Amino acid sequence: MKILVPIKRVPDYAVKVKVAADGSRIETDGIKWIANPFDEIAVEEALRLKEAGVATEVVVVTIGPEAAEQQLRYGMAMGADSGLHVVFNDELDSDLASRVLAAVASRGDYPLIILGKQSIDSDANQTGQLLAMRLNRSIATFASRLTVEGGAAVVTREVDGGLETVRIPLPAVVTTDLRLNEPRYASLPGIMKAKKKPVEQLTLEQLSVSPTTAVRIRRLSLPPKRGAGRKVADVAELVRVLQEEAKVL
C-alpha cells in the first residue's frame, strides 16, 4: 500500500509574521520556512505504518514555488521514498489545494492519504475534508491514534468532550492532531539520502486543474493590541484588584 502525504511550506511557528504596509500581503523577507508541523506528524505516521509493514511506500507532495522543494526534501530526509512537486507561485486557498491534491491522488494508487488537520499559516482546517469528499473517500479528522487493519482504518479523534474512535473503510483520508506522534528529526544520513531521491515536478495544466480560488483575501491587518497590564506584589494585592478594580470576584 502506498501512502500519500501532502506537505505545506509555512513560516516557522516561532516567527512573528509582519503585514506589509498596504495590507496586501505578509512580509516574507528573511522569514524562516518550515514544513507545516501537522504535516510532519503526518509524514511520521506514514513512516511508522511503513516500518510496521502496513505500507510499502510513502510519497510526499507539495504545492508551491520552487523553494518549497526544501520542505519536500525534508519529508524525504525523514524517510519518505519520493516526492511530487506541483510548482505553483500564485495564491493558494484550501479549495484549490484540495482540487490539486485530488488530481495528484488520482494519478496513483494511494489507499491512504494522511495530512495535517490545519496549516499554521492560514489556520483554515479544510483541505483534508475537501479532499476526501472530492475523492468520494471516507474521512477521519483530528487523529490522535491510527491503526490499519483488514481494509479499514481505526482512528481515535480528538473532539470536544473527549475522544471518539471511528472505523472507516479504505480508501481514506486522515488528518493529524498534535498527539498522534512525536515526529523524528531528519538525520544527517537521511538528509544526504534525500538529495538523491526522485522528485517529479508537475504543473496545474498537466493536472488539468484551473488555478481559481474560492476565497479571496481583501486586506490583512494586525489584531488590536491589549492594553498593557501590570505586576502585582502579592496574593493579597491580586485579590484586592480583582475585587475592586476588575470586579470579577
Partner 1 sequence: MSTIVVVGDIASQPDGSTMISKSSLCAIQAAGEFAATTGGGAVHLLLIGQGAHSAAARLSGSTVAKVYWYDAPAVARYRAPTYASVVVAAMKQIGADTLFCGASSTGKDLAPCVAALLDAGQASDIIGVNPDGTLRRPMYAGDVIADVEITTAAKVVTVRASAFAPAPTSGGAALVEELLSVGELPERGEVVGYELSASERPELSSAAVVVSGGRAVGSAENFEKVIYPLADVLGAAVGASRAAVDSGYAPNDWQVGQTGKVVAPQLYVAVGISGAIQHLAGMKDSKVIVAINKDPEAPIFEVATYGLVADLFEATPALTTAIQGVKG
Ligand X SMILES: Cc1cc2nc3c(=O)[nH]c(=O)nc-3n(C[C@H](O)[C@H](O)[C@H](O)COP(=O)(O)OP(=O)(O)OC[C@H]3O[C@@H](n4cnc5c(N)ncnc54)[C@H](O)[C@@H]3O)c2cc1C
13 binds ligand X (CB under 6 A): yes
Q: Least distance in Å: CB of 207 to ligand X?
A: 29
Partner from ligand X, partner 1, none binding residue 84, C-beta < 5-8 Å depending on class: none
The rounded distance, in Å, linking the Cα atoms of 128 and 200 is 22
* Placement of cell 474512535 in the chain: 165
In the region spanning residues 25 to 64, those forming contacts with ligand X, defined by CB under 6 A, are 37
67 binds partner 1 (CB under 8 A): no
Closer residue to partner 1 (CB): 69 or 121: 121
The rounded distance, in Å, linking the Cα atoms of 145 and 88 is 33
133 binds partner 1 (CB under 8 A): yes
Closer residue to partner 1 (CB): 17 or 199: 17
CA atoms within 13 A on the CB side of 163: 11
Closer residue to partner 1 (CB): 13 or 185: 13
The rounded distance, in Å, linking the Cα atoms of 169 and 112 is 10
* Placement of cell 501590570 in the chain: 230
The rounded distance, in Å, linking the Cα atoms of 149 and 78 is 25
Partner from partner 1, ligand X, none binding residue 192, C-beta < 5-8 Å depending on class: none
Q: Least distance in Å: CB of 81 to ligand X?
A: 25
Letter string b/e over residues 67-104, b meaning 16 or more CB atoms within 10 A of that residue's CB: ebbebbbbbbbbbbbbbbbbebeeebbbbbbbbbbbbb
Partner from ligand X, partner 1, none binding residue 217, C-beta < 5-8 Å depending on class: partner 1
Closer residue to ligand X (CB): 37 or 171: 37
The residue number with the shortest CB distance to ligand X is: 37
Q: Residues 216, 95: contact at Cβ < 8 Å?
A: no
Query: Phi-psi category of 59—alpha, beta or left, where left has phi over 0 and alpha has psi -120 to 50?
Result: beta
181 binds partner 1 (CB under 8 A): no
Site string for ligand X, 101-120 (x = CB under 6 A): -------------------x
In the region spanning residues 140 to 169, those forming contacts with partner 1, defined by CB under 8 A, are 140-142, 144, 152, 154, 156-169
The rounded distance, in Å, linking the Cα atoms of 139 and 226 is 39
185 binds ligand X (CB under 6 A): no
Closer residue to ligand X (CB): 37 or 64: 37
Interface ranges with ligand X (CB under 6 A)? 13, 37, 120
